[in-house]
Amino acid sequence: MPEDIIRTACFDLANHLVKSPNPPTIDRIESDVSSISEVADLLYKISVEQLELVEEDGGTPEIIFRPIRYMDEVHVGLGLEDYDLWFDFTLRSLLVIACPNKFLIQDSSAFRFLTDMENGIKISRRDGVS
């Protein structure tokens, strides 16, 4: 089930977002799991809404799954509080890059920004560990 991979990615991200800086205790486990599940459900709901839009343009669930994993690896630990707003804006921003829905004029600022992103991606890939 494609939605299962999205749900799992949302849960993993929620787990890292909500994780307490203190070591887990028996007394807090139920509360922690409840908080993580609540955030994961919010993230999943947003993901499914975006998936429906992406699928209308021929996209697949992987195009939703991958940016969630990216956010989990790159953006966790920023001290966020409004998880759903951050997630929604970040996911939409990443999807606009991965699934462009309009062509840009070459000498526009938006087009030049795409070049900036390409250069940043090249640096990340060059400096990254395979």
Q: Residue 68: which residues within 8 A CB-CB, separation 6 or more?
A: 6, 9, 10, 13, 43, 47, 91
- Average pLDDT of the chain, as a whole number: 84
Q: How confident is the model at residue 69 (pLDDT cuts 50, 70, 90)?
A: very high
User: For position 117, what pLDDT does the model report?
Assistant: 84
Least confident range from 2-11, 83-92, 108-117: namely 108-117
Give me the residue spans of the domains in the chain.
2-99, 103-130
Q: How confident is the model at residue 41 (pLDDT cuts 50, 70, 90)?
A: very high
Q: What is the DSSP letter of 99?
A: S
| Mean pLDDT, residues 19-35 taken together | 75
Residues in the chain: 130
The span from the CA of 40 to the CA of 36, in Å, is 6
User: For position 81, what pLDDT does the model report?
Assistant: 74
Tokens for 55, please give them.
Answer: 């699928």
Does the pLDDT value for residue 64 go beyond 70? yes
User: For position 19, what pLDDT does the model report?
Assistant: 76
Does the pLDDT value for residue 51 go beyond 70? yes
State pTM to two decimals: 0.80
The span from the CA of 84 to the CA of 71, in Å, is 13
Question: Where does 31-122 show beta strands of DSSP type E?
Answer: none
